[in-house]
Amino acid sequence: MNLIIDVGNTLAKVAVFQNDELGKKEVVQKESLEKKIKEIFKEFPEIHAVVTSNVSKTTFSWPSGLQKKARILNLDANTLLPFENLYGTPATLGNDRKALAAAAVKKYPGRNVLVIDAGTCITYDFKNAENQYLGGGISPGLKMRFKALNSFTANLPLVTPQEDLKLIGDSTLSSINSGVIFGFLKEIDGIIEEYASQYDEMLTIITGGDAQFLSINLKNSIFANSNILLEGLNYILEFNISQ
């Protein structure tokens, strides 16, 4: 049984896998992470391996019992990966992007796969049919775009997405929503189309906090998977245990 810990920019996720099956998942505030790990280990004392992906500066301590009995893998630049990494600067490749690529390799071997993670940032990660990770792109996420308009101008307010979206904004509020949201959607659709024009039979997977919103509004055919990053971390852990 494996414990998966993913510490993001905003929240932390804790998951338990039995083989390849997700048994439990909880999302917690980062300051509650240490307490949650203790609770999970108490509930699942048979945990024998742990992987952590930490993209923030959050620190925490392990329960003594877990530290004594479990193999703990801290994902970093030296961790073995279950794919050929052709990224030009592998030491700077984010843990989240490694995990997404690993999941794509595990779930869709022999396929061209683009994984889009729509959270604080949007990341685009592509692995080809030869299971080679080529790279992708990084762009501001939806909330970051709204915050940027507010932060870098004197008079524009901080707004939230409106359900009743208008192409032609007839107020400052609706104009910001139109510009940000339609720009957001068109960017992603356009990037998917660019990849699809170069790689045959490409599969697109979307995950992250804005995945549901995007899966409804994008014109391109995509698959939404909210757990793909956790699945990728579990696969990286299993791959390292097997070496």
Quick one: 83 and 67 in the same domain? no
Quick one: 48 and 92 in the same domain? no
| 210 belongs to the catalytic site | no
Among 50, 74, 98, identify where a domain stops. 74
204 is in an annotated binding site: no
96 is in an annotated binding site: yes
Give the count of domains, the chain.
2
95 is in an annotated binding site: yes
Beta strand segments in 55-191, E: 71-74, 84-85, 113-118, 121-127, 132-140
Quick one: 132 and 187 in the same domain? yes
d(CA 224, CA 25): 17
Among 36, 58, 74, identify where a domain stops. 74
120 is in an annotated binding site: yes
Residue 34 · residue 57 · CB < 8 Å: no
101 is in an annotated binding site: no
The whole-model pTM stands at 0.91
- At residue 162, the pLDDT reads 84
> Which of residues 68 and 96 earns the better pLDDT score?
96
Quick one: 89 and 178 in the same domain? yes
pLDDT at 221 over 80: no
The pLDDT tens digits for 87-120 are 999 999 999 999 999 999 999 999 999 999 998 8
Percentage of the residues of the chain whose pLDDT score is greater than 70: 100
d(CA 105, CA 185): 26
Quick one: 51 and 122 in the same domain? no
The pLDDT tens digits for 6-31 are 998 778 999 999 988 999 999 999 88
Quick one: 118 and 193 in the same domain? yes
Quick one: 177 and 225 in the same domain? yes
Quick one: 34 and 135 in the same domain? no
- Residue 81's pLDDT band (cuts 50, 70, 90): very high
Q: What's the chain's average pLDDT?
A: 92
110 is in an annotated binding site: no
Quick one: 97 and 54 in the same domain? no
SS3 content of the chain, % helix, strand, coil (to 5): 40, 25, 35
d(CA 119, CA 111): 25
pLDDT at 213 over 90: no
- At residue 56, the pLDDT reads 80
172 is in an annotated binding site: yes
The Cβ-side half-sphere exposure at 93, using a 13 Å CA radius, reads 26
- At residue 163, the pLDDT reads 77
* CATH code of the domain containing 41: 3.30.420.40
The pLDDT tens digits for 159-171 are 998 878 899 999 9
124 is in an annotated binding site: no
- At residue 112, the pLDDT reads 97
pLDDT at 220 over 80: no
Quick one: 101 and 31 in the same domain? no
pLDDT at 66 over 90: no
Quick one: 27 and 125 in the same domain? no
Q: What does the pLDDT average to over 184-201?
A: 95
Annotated active-site residue in 96, 164, 170, 210: 96
- At residue 98, the pLDDT reads 96
Quick one: 45 and 124 in the same domain? no
Domain enclosing residue 41, as ranges: 1-74
Among 46, 74, 102, identify where a domain stops. 74
